[in-house]
Amino acid sequence: MENVFAKMKKHSVFSWENLGDIKEGRGQLGEQMPVLVYRLMQYTMLDVLSKEFGNDKANVFFRDAGYLAGVEFSKNCLNLAIDFDAFVASLQKTLADLKIGILRMEAFDAETGNLTLTVGEDLDCSGLPVTNENVCTYDEGFIAGILESYTGKKYDVREVDCWANGNRVCRFQGAVVK
């Protein structure tokens, strides 16, 4: 048991397998947990990183972590070998089934690859007080990682509307990086 913890404490390389067997480990409590617990981890981590490195750098860390999560999520939870419409439908279903959020594709330009999508009832900010800021930097990276995994093209994804900015959904614009 000690070797497992020593290996995990290194935090050198993320591996999907390091997430463990949640069904086995949480036989009575199950896989579900309140969004409050997720946000408690997320926002305390962001607070610590912001104090240590500044807000801009902390957001870079969160976006990068989201990107890594999006790539790994894609490889382990999505079918990357289907046409675009089927992929979007599958992504919508998977995000809803996992209670991550309700995805809606608003616009997609097949020629450029650029897109606009919304995520409603998302984990990061739905229900937060209005602070007049966009707070879903982790989601920017997560979506960019998913899009790159599917298309093979690097994406820059930015949140343009957010619940914390007074909107009822989070809206993201993604552009292929040239």
At residue 10, the pLDDT reads: 58
pLDDT tens digits along 36-48: 999 999 999 999 9
Rounded CA gap, 72 and 68, in Å? 6
pLDDT tens digits along 89-124: 999 999 999 999 999 999 999 999 999 999 999 999
Domain 18-176 classified CATH 3.20.20.140? Answer: no
Contacts of 77 (CB under 8 A, 6+ apart): 94, 98
Rounded CA gap, 158 and 109, in Å? 17
Domain residue limits, the chain: 18-176
Rounded CA gap, 5 and 132, in Å? 41
- Say whether pLDDT at 60 is over 60: yes
Reading across the β-sheet that carries 170-176, which strands appear in turn? 102-108, 115-120, 170-176, 155-161
pLDDT band at 1 (very low <50, low <70, confident <90, very high): very low
pTM: 0.91
How far, in Å, are 31, 48, 123, 163 from residue 59 at the CA level? Answer: 28, 12, 17, 17
